[in-house]
Structure 1
Amino acid sequence: MSLSQDAKSLYEAMLEQPSHVFSQAELEDILDDENKPKLVEYLRELMQKQQVKLLQEGDGTLFYRAIAEQEAMLIRGMSADEAMVYSYVQASGREGIWTKTIRIRSGLHQHVVNRCLKSLETKRITKSIKSVKFPTRKIVMLYHLQPSIEVTGGPWFSDTELDVEFVNLMLNVVWKYVCKQTFGSVDSNTVQASQIPGQERYSSLESIHKFIEEANLSTVELSDSDIYALLDVLINDNKVERTLSGEYRATWQSILEDQGRLPNLVPLLNSPL
């Protein structure tokens, strides 16, 4: 059974705002006065075709969201249980959802949830991911989405484990860059011979980030907030100071402490900047 022309027109109007959740009043505003009384009939048509999804707030208020035709076709190919499980996974976005939460919210037995998820994963509709916050839980999300930083832990984690070696490498890289900008060298004898009071050059967050990007020192993309986090660690370790202008300079204490013990991790720093 095909859609009526009026139901189709309503659906097309809703698709113009694909992520919008419509109240009944908003949908009535879309219709002509003579068709307003038929809204429930049109919505029933669209929901039967899986082209509109019904949502309910905690107070019982109903809302409606248009489902794109490609997604509607996908849902029509699912069993009722699979469609229900899919709806909870979809609603979780990039955070993903614990399989136990799906069971509780759907009221389905765990073996039914597991069977549905296995089918959806086989079809590459959903996937299992690991969570830094909850490493023992099975978290699932839509196949085409990338997990949020809250789930993965960001660039400092690998398979939910803190990558200590990578963190230490980047800390040393940042320190040596700031040190050379501040004193012109990472050698205490060279610094002592050439240092002119008041002639230090300070490093901005942007310049540090740019250096790391241009030198291809990381296999993962680092954001400004990631570099800022490294600088905070160096500040807490008294290796770097933040100036009143918001720039960064290396401490003389850090040169003395690391002299002779800091590995030459970044040969690029020995070339002119």
Structure 2
Amino acid sequence: MSVLAGKRKRQELASSLSATLSNEERVVYNIIRGRKEMGIWQGDIKRETNIPDSLMKKSIKMLLAKTLIKEVVNIQNKSKKVLMAAEFEPSKEITGGEWYTEGKLDTQLIEALSDVCMKLILRQKVSTREGILDWIRKVGTEIFPGGVSAGQVEQILKVLVLENKVQEVNSTGFGDFASVPAGEVCYRLAKKTAVGVKVGAMASFPCGVCPRINACTPDGVISPTNCQYFEKWLDF
């Protein structure tokens, strides 16, 4: 099912459920739904209506039970949850963006993606953002079960460049750059980083030379989950 079809189905379900709401529940629901992806504090709903506090809380509880609305953690004030219609996804102002999970900065994701970028660049000598993203989609789902976006990979690479661990260069199309079309932006380890790296352990990256790589899938007989070589490389 496409994202658009899924959203349409949720809207149809919300429409049918809203027909069963009491007057108070409908008023509260319409206010929440009207705020779309920004949501609204419970206190703000109270200020916008003349509904008694106990009845308003009961209405919110019923709307949550009917899954017409949801509670979302606001990164700007984690102690107070925002109420939002179920059909909307919270804005980046609410969630903090792709690096946040349930209102918390996902430091493990940041560290894991940084490590993978460094290891792939070392193994391949040079790599592109698309090349790193392609590897993650093929065999990196065990590390990133929720996947990562092109924007996240790009942000990590920019940080590594700022930290002088990686250099952003344009491919010449020759030598170490033979796998990248001439003129395309790619990344290689900074000289001081390469000198301090234990090449033997990190360069023994198994997936790049595995003859069964095309048959390797997350849930298949051949999988990163049961590959001892892959696990050793990740544990380095």
TM-score computed with the length of structure 1 as normaliser: 0.58
Counterpart in the other structure of 1:256: 195
Check whether the contact 2:123–2:205 (CA below 8 A) recurs between aligned residues: no
- The alignment of Structure 1 onto Structure 2 pairs a total of residues equal to 187
RMSD: 3.1
Superposition map of 1:145-164 within 5 A: 145-164=88-107
Once residues 252 and 264 of structure 1 are traced to their aligned partners in structure 2, the CA distance between those partners, rounded to angstroms, is: 16
Check whether the contact 2:68–2:86 (CA below 8 A) recurs between aligned residues: yes
**Gaps in structure 2 of 5+ consecutive residues:** 1-7, 171-183, 214-236
How far apart are 1:82 and its partner, in Å?
1.1
Superposition map of 1:131-170 within 5 A: 131-170=74-113
How far apart are 1:270 and its partner, in Å?
6.5
Once residues 208 and 192 of structure 2 are traced to their aligned partners in structure 1, the CA distance between those partners, rounded to angstroms, is: 21
Once residues 146 and 48 of structure 2 are traced to their aligned partners in structure 1, the CA distance between those partners, rounded to angstroms, is: 37
Once residues 188 and 80 of structure 2 are traced to their aligned partners in structure 1, the CA distance between those partners, rounded to angstroms, is: 43
Once residues 108 and 90 of structure 1 are traced to their aligned partners in structure 2, the CA distance between those partners, rounded to angstroms, is: 17
How far apart are 1:226 and its partner, in Å?
1.0
Check whether the contact 2:72–2:81 (CA below 8 A) recurs between aligned residues: yes
- Is residue 137 of structure 2 the alignment partner of residue 213 of structure 1? yes
Once residues 108 and 102 of structure 1 are traced to their aligned partners in structure 2, the CA distance between those partners, rounded to angstroms, is: 9
The letter for the 1-side match of 2:209 is S
- Is residue 214 of structure 2 the alignment partner of residue 268 of structure 1? no
- Structure 1 runs of 4+ aligned residues shifted over 6 Å read none
Greater shift after overlay, 172-181 or 98-107? 98-107
Measured against aligned partners, the alpha-carbon deviations of 1:100-144 in whole angstroms (never above 9, x if no partner) come to 222223344444332210111122211212222321212111234
Of structures 1 and 2, the one scoring higher in RCO (CA 8 A, sep 6+) is 2
Counterpart in the other structure of 1:229: 155
How far apart are 1:172 and its partner, in Å?
0.7
- Is residue 17 of structure 2 the alignment partner of residue 74 of structure 1? yes
Once residues 56 and 203 of structure 2 are traced to their aligned partners in structure 1, the CA distance between those partners, rounded to angstroms, is: 50
SS in 1 for 2:24: helix
Counterpart in the other structure of 1:38: none
SS in 2 for 1:243: strand
Check whether the contact 1:180–1:269 (CA below 8 A) recurs between aligned residues: no
Identity %: 22
Aligned counterpart for 1:240 among listed residues 152, 166, 176: 166
SS in 2 for 1:89: helix
Check whether the contact 1:153–1:160 (CA below 8 A) recurs between aligned residues: yes
Once residues 161 and 89 of structure 1 are traced to their aligned partners in structure 2, the CA distance between those partners, rounded to angstroms, is: 24
How far apart are 1:180 and its partner, in Å?
2.1
Once residues 113 and 25 of structure 2 are traced to their aligned partners in structure 1, the CA distance between those partners, rounded to angstroms, is: 45
Check whether the contact 1:173–1:265 (CA below 8 A) recurs between aligned residues: no
How far apart are 1:154 and its partner, in Å?
4.3
Check whether the contact 1:177–1:269 (CA below 8 A) recurs between aligned residues: no
SS in 2 for 1:120: helix
Once residues 92 and 148 of structure 1 are traced to their aligned partners in structure 2, the CA distance between those partners, rounded to angstroms, is: 11
Going from structure 1 to structure 2, the CA distance change for 1:89 and 1:236 (only over 3 Å counts) comes to: same
- Is residue 25 of structure 2 the alignment partner of residue 103 of structure 1? no
